[in-house]
Structure 1
Amino acid sequence: MRTRAADFDDPDSMVRAGDPVNPMALLDEYRETEQVLAAEGVPVTVLRNNIYAEMLDLTMPLAQAVATGVLPAVDQGHVGYVTRDDCAAAAAAVLAGGGHQGQYLDITGPAAVDVAGIAEALGQATGRAVHHQSRTEAEAEAALRARLPEQVRAAPTALESAFAFSRAGRAGWFDVTTHAVERLTGTPATSLVDHFASRRDVLLGA
């Protein structure tokens, strides 16, 4: 998986971007953009993606967790992780089908999970028992800092953005799920178990 600094600094529009009390400064530009589009009467459909499931490969030691049976991570709130492929399919369906002008659609996975749920999904996908081991916030941020690629660490705001995403998740800001992917594409959104299963060989170190 290739990870860009932009995945932290400039993702597509995100869930709850329009919430005026959302504490993430990163979302200010999205909220302001939505406000400008609304004020100008631009015919637009806004797709607000939840956190990409693929980001877990970067922010958590998944393969290590499968090998050891332990997923060390700070406790967090539930997150409706969604795959990039599902986001792309939803966007393509909107472009091809039309009929969604003026709508704000949250694009999410089928269920919101916490860290214990991530560990359970890993176990189901690989056939190996994995359980969650709690870390402090300081321990988790130090581990994340060490794991991020150099190009992400070198970006001016990427590291703090990564920490901000983690803190916002713990506060419940990404605890959002909808059936928008299925309504738009006719196919249910990919579950975290199925996402991990598609990468089973990598997770097992095969």
Structure 2
Amino acid sequence: MGFIVTTGATGRLGGRVAALLAAAGIEQRLVSRQADRVAPLAGATAVSAEYGDPGAVRRALEGASTVLFVSASESADRLDRHRTFVDAARDAGVTHLVYISFYGAAPDATFTLARDHWVTEQHIRASGLPFTFLRDNLYADFLPGMAGEDGVIRGPAGQGRVAAVAQDDIAEAAAAVLLDPGAHEGATYDLTGPQALTLDEVAAALTRATGRTITYHPETVEEAYESRRGYNAPGWQVAAWVSTYEAIAAGELEGVSDGIPTLTGHPATTFEELLAKGQG
């Protein structure tokens, strides 16, 4: 049996998974665009590889049994880089690919990037690689960052709800799959928090946790595009930002699943618990 490859090793999620595997005494190869930034871990070696470089990816994955495929950073060419990575994993002889996808991934998802995750899933299926898909809801850890400097969360989410999930829970779930991939071959797991909250409820929880007054202002879609104009971001990125809130309004992120307790053996972390740990 070969070693495990953990991609995105310098990122918030990949780094968490790598640390859990190291603590379990697992041999792993840590892949990042900048190997010199990877934190040293017992039993781990770091290598550099860009997802869009098929030769570098093949070399990074050669000899691996199971690979954690953390999706690439958001960019206009992310789908191309995903396809390149999957093809290189197949060519390298990888025996199981665990892909970090998104909750509700579908060709007609309201959240634009969830459509990209769907296309990536289909490419993995077509590759013939044994796989497991972990479809994460929004990261609960990122919800505090939705509030502006004035303490207001703005977006066209209406009174929709989101079952945001803690990154620590996702990391534990991913590690469980990586440690016993055969038991999860072909499976798709929805990973959510234990409750679905409106953004008013998110704001109230943040107010209680921080002592700072946080409120939610439900923008119209037109207001949302206008309020983000000053970031001078490309159109696809602004659409992704706005459509996150639209997906909440449409009820596409409100489902609560048993994926976290099934894979980790413990209840999913509540938003309040996350804030109490100081991780939000």
Band of TM-score, shorter chain: 0.7 to 0.9
In the TM superposition, what whole-angstrom CA distance separates every residue of 1:128-162 from its partner, at most 9, and x where no partner exists? 7765454444444444555x6xxxx5566322211
> What's the counterpart of residue 42 of structure 1?
129
Q: Where do 1:5-16 residues align within 5 Å?
A: 6=73, 12-16=100-104
Among candidates 238, 241, 249, match of residue 159 of structure 1: 238
The structural deviation recorded for 1:73 is 5.3
Query: Aligned equivalents of 1:154 and 1:71: distance in 2?
Result: 19
User: 3-state DSSP class of the match of 1:45?
Assistant: strand
In the TM superposition, what whole-angstrom CA distance separates every residue of 1:25-56 from its partner, at most 9, and x where no partner exists? 42333222322333444221110011111222
In the TM superposition, what whole-angstrom CA distance separates every residue of 1:76-113 from its partner, at most 9, and x where no partner exists? 41111112222111101111133111110001111111
User: 3-state DSSP class of the match of 1:158?
Assistant: helix
Q: 1:192 to 1:64 in 2, by over 3 A?
A: farther
Among candidates 261, 275, 278, match of residue 182 of structure 1: 261
User: 3-state DSSP class of the match of 2:101?
Assistant: coil
Among candidates 53, 60, 68, match of residue 140 of structure 2: 53
Query: Aligned equivalents of 2:131 and 2:193: distance in 1?
Result: 23
The structural deviation recorded for 1:163 is 1.3
The structural deviation recorded for 1:182 is 1.6
Q: Which has the higher contact order (CA 8 A, sep 6+)?
A: 1
Q: Where do 1:106-121 residues align within 5 Å?
A: 106-121=190-205
The structural deviation recorded for 1:121 is 1.9
- Amino acid paired to 1:46: F
Contact 1:48 1:106 in 2 (8 A): yes
Q: Where do 1:121-136 residues align within 5 Å?
A: 121-126=205-210, 132-136=216-220
Q: Where do 1:77-96 residues align within 5 Å?
A: 77-96=160-179
- Residue identity over aligned pairs, in percent, reads 32
Query: Aligned equivalents of 1:7 and 1:24: distance in 2?
Result: 13
Q: 1:71 to 1:13 in 2, by over 3 A?
A: closer
User: 3-state DSSP class of the match of 2:135?
Assistant: strand
User: 3-state DSSP class of the match of 2:125?
Assistant: helix
Query: Aligned equivalents of 1:174 and 1:90: distance in 2?
Result: 19
Query: Aligned equivalents of 2:103 and 2:262: distance in 1?
Result: 17
Q: 1:166 to 1:72 in 2, by over 3 A?
A: closer
User: 3-state DSSP class of the match of 2:257?
Assistant: coil
Query: Aligned equivalents of 1:145 and 1:116: distance in 2?
Result: 24
- Structure with higher Rg: it is 2
The structural deviation recorded for 1:64 is 4.6
Return the TM-score normalized by structure 1: 0.72
Return the TM-score normalized by structure 2: 0.55
Q: 1:144 to 1:89 in 2, by over 3 A?
A: farther
Among candidates 236, 251, 256, match of residue 172 of structure 1: 251
Of Structure 1 and Structure 2, which has the larger fraction of its residues in strand?
A: 2
Query: Aligned equivalents of 2:144 and 2:229: distance in 1?
Result: 14
Query: Aligned equivalents of 1:131 and 1:164: distance in 2?
Result: 20
Among candidates 188, 204, 229, match of residue 104 of structure 1: 188
Structure 2 unaligned segments of length 5 or more: list them: 1-10, 13-71, 79-98
Contact 1:121 1:193 in 2 (8 A): yes
Query: Aligned equivalents of 2:212 and 2:116: distance in 1?
Result: 42
- Amino acid paired to 1:88: A
User: Over aligned residues, Cα RMSD in angstroms?
Assistant: 3.3
- Amino acid paired to 2:195: A
- Amino acid paired to 2:206: L
